[in-house]
Structure 1
Amino acid sequence: MNYNINNKGYYGDFGGAFIPEMLYPNVEELRLNYLEIMRKPSFKKEFEQLLKDYVGRPSPLYFAKRLSKKYNTKIYLKREDLNHTGAHKVNNTIGQILMAQHLGKTRIIAETGAGQHGVATATVCALMGMQCIVYMGEIDMARQAPNVARMKMLGAEVRPAKSGSKTLKDATNEAIRDWINNPIDTHYIIGSVVGPHPYPDMVARFQAVISEEIKVQLKAQENTDKPDYVVACVGGGSNAAGAYYHFLNDTDVNLIAVEAAGKGVYSGESAATSMLGREGIIHGSKTLLMQTDDGQITEPYSISAGLDYPGIGPMHAHLYASGRAEFISITDDEAMIAGLELSQLEGIIPAIETSHALAIFNQKTFQKNDIVVINLSGRGDKDLENYIDYFKL
């Protein structure tokens, strides 16, 4: 079985472009040009140069000695938290801002949940001198205030989404509306492997630098370019897509996707899409999504603003449905405790999203010589208020 996208924009049964007629020209322009632009030597050179000199790549692959000792296995952390802007998101925004320039676009829109993608978009727009509008749910704006301030300081306009649950799903709806109204000059930088084809594939390709580096770094440290396990948290799933990309068709490498169970998978306050979702269409692609019996989207919940999305990207839906990846659900409480544990064992404060991935060691036992690579997708600066409130620090 092939786990990459096919030429019709599908991963197995999932993907495609289910879009209103008004959006067709925008999406089609991107679909017809994205691969050709990405293959241009001038594009590749500028992308790689910016990742090196501006983002600070390659990000280290760090052997977590004390964590490994505690869980009696070899745990490596891919340090995406050390990237400029503090997360993996900037890999994709650098790629997409260059894509927008090659397509002659002058105005950028984006959606954001935790704010990391919004900050990364505002950052590259400042770098390239482009107008930037970021849509963010009103609730997320309140719980991620430092990131809102960062975006404004970088020159972006942050527009609140006041409908629905006032979180990521609603911010995405607002961004799509904007794009319909401004089709000629605007490029929509989607922050995850979601949305209509070609977005899931394009974002995964820009994030694939993560797994590309893991292979080289592991070879130097363990004399193999194959870990036994690659673990990443999944909301929409761009950090996971990047960490898995070069291992997708290598079934010797086990893939583990960690979702947010919120207050419990079946508590009614959860974002565990693989457990609760059914096939449906959200934001232009066919995927697994949390919905009622009559097809209304169920409001997701997680303590992490970046994981409370009611669907997953079509690549991950296919990895789940085919059994290629193991999906594990982690509650708010489990994630928060794992975040504190990493802070105190390794001196690294992770984003709450990443803390979900770190929590799997209490659910799953690994062999002593297993090489377990966890994608440490973001740093915890933005979540300090949440940590403070939770632990009464």
Structure 2
Amino acid sequence: MKKPYLKQFPDESGFFGKFGGSFVPEEVKKAMQEINEAYDLIAQNSDFIAELRKIRKHFQGRPTPIYFAHNLTKKYGGAGIYFKREDLNHTGAHKLNHCMGEGLLAKFMGKKKLIAETGAGQHGVALATAAAYFGLECEIHMGEIDIQKEYPNVVRMKILGAKVVPVSFGAKTLKEAVDSAFESYMSDLENSMYAIGSVVGPHPFPRMVRDFQAIVGIESKEQFLEMTGELPDIVTACVGGGSNALGIFSGFIDDSVELVGVEPLGRGSEYGNHASSLSYGEEGIMHGFNSIMLKDSSGNPASVYSVASGLDYPSVGPEHAYLHSIGRTKVECISDNEAISAFFELSKEEGIIPAIESSHAVAYALKIAKDLKGKKILVNLSGRGDKDIDFIVNTYGYSL
């Protein structure tokens, strides 16, 4: 019998086809190998699995529900629109799914400190939460521009006991936060663990984060079948690095379900105005892995932009690059204005305030729903918009 997809990829070297791998200095490669060996060990350990399940149920509040958006479905008059409510996961987003796993792994390895980058702040908040839970130190690197946009999450991280390090070089956003966090990690490989916030980075992180996020897809498949008696026709999620998308895609990847990643088109397709890596990028190595990335004229990571701080990254997880290259996933783009319009639409029609990142996937569902009568669309509502409210009101007011 053919193995399920998740059992086949990545290979032992961390490659999804030609994408992935570990392109890091020798001393970091040794640290990555240590993490990989520890993860392989605990992933088979029934005690670890039982502990993680206990955390998910009693601390995170899983399973999160699937919600049928009756008002939006009626208004758009086409496909049935459903949301996987990861915004109801503790801390308000899907990020805690892998952060609790990474924290448990760090504790198992005897590490004393968790280090990470964050864009929108959701990964930072989730990791600070995990560090508090496991009694570990926590250091979060965040671009100064994102600190201004997502200040409520900065406050949450500090209340949770994390040290927030402002990043003031370059574009002062997510890419630079990764660079800064990685530099800090290299200064103390023995006592710290770099808890990457998406399905990016050197092996084993793309695999490990996907595995921890797969709970979203596992739950979704079971819940959708129970609710409707069949699978959705389309499953869609926003894609920056791509952790929430791979999480929900994992549950349906071996099924005849259309999987659509939604990238941020920002202000348009011109250079520096978007962060749509799969749509406009080319093969390249960045932050220790080979994938599809946006490049400048010199071949370096390009300047990128998105209204969503969690999506403005010039590359994408290597597994997304592979799945797109073989035609298993589709990629669509949504602009800032479309995403913000969907933010207000979901808030006012269903009483759910979404994260701006998630609003990109919501916008795509609303865009296609009217032409798909009789079909069912499942959107991964990856986070809630509490963190975005001040920015939204200051920039757009209370409606578009």
The bucket for the TM-score relative to the shorter chain is over 0.9
CA distance in 2 between partners of 1:391 and 1:292 (Å): 31
Cα displacement (A) at 1:362: 5.2
- Corresponding residue for 1:389? 394
Is the Cα contact below 8 Å between 1:265 and 1:275 reproduced in 2? no
Equivalent residue for 1:40, pick from 42, 45, 62: 45
User: 1:123 is matched with which residue?
Assistant: 129
SS in 2 for 1:8: coil
Matched, 1:239 2:244: yes
1:206 aligns with 2:228: no
One-letter amino acid of the structure 2 residue matched with residue 144 of structure 1: E
Residue 350, structure 1, aligned to residue 350, structure 2: no
1:195 aligns with 2:201: yes
Q: How many residues in Structure 1 have an aligned counterpart in Structure 2?
A: 391
Q: By how many angstroms is 1:268 displaced?
A: 3.2
For residues 221 and 321 of structure 2, the distance between their equivalents in structure 1, rounded to whole angstroms, comes to 25
Cα displacement string for residues 285-319 of structure 1 (whole angstroms, at most 9, x for unaligned residues)? 00000102321111110011000000000011112
Q: Distance in 2 between matches of 1:174 and 1:20?
A: 16
8 A contact 2:301–2:314 mirrored in 1: yes
Within 5 Å, which residues of 2 pair with 1:88-107?
Answer: 88-107=94-113
Alignment match of 1:29 (pick from 16, 30, 34): 34
Corresponding residue number in structure 1 for 2:60? 55
Matched with 1:289 is 293
1:1-393 alignment to 2 at 5 Å?
4-71=9-76, 72-224=78-230, 226-250=231-255, 252-266=256-270, 268-361=272-365, 363-365=367-369, 366-393=371-398
Q: In the alignment, residue 79 of structure 1 is paired with which amino acid?
A: R
- d(CA) in 2 for partners of 1:6, 1:265: 34
User: Does the 8 A contact of 2:107 with 2:134 survive in 1?
Assistant: no
Q: State the SS of the aligned residue for 1:136.
A: strand
5+ residue gaps, structure 2, are none
- Supply the distance in 1 between the matched residues of 2:105 and 2:117 (Cα, whole angstroms): 18
Q: Secondary structure at the match of 1:265?
A: coil
Query: How many Å separate the matches in 2 of 1:44 and 1:152?
Result: 30
Query: Structure 1: where are the runs of 5+ without partners?
Result: none
Shift of 1:67: 1.2
Are the counterparts in 2 of residues 261 and 270 from structure 1 also a CA contact under 8 Å? Answer: yes
Identity across the alignment (%): 46
**Local SS of the residue matching 2:390:** helix
Q: Secondary structure at the match of 1:214?
A: helix
**Structure 1 length-normalised TM:** 0.97
Q: What RMSD over aligned residues (CA atoms) do the two structures have, in Å?
A: 1.4
Write the distance in 2 (CA, Å) between the matches of 1:274 and 1:265: 12
Structure 2: how far apart are the matches of 1:324 and 1:372?
17
Task: Check whether the contact 1:227–1:373 (CA below 8 A) recurs between aligned residues.
Answer: yes
Residue 70 (structure 1) shift: 2.3
Alpha-carbon distance in 1 for matches of 2:114, 2:397: 39
Tell me if the contact between 1:60 and 1:78 (Cα under 8 Å) persists in the aligned partners.
yes
> How far has the Cα of 1:31 moved from its partner?
1.6
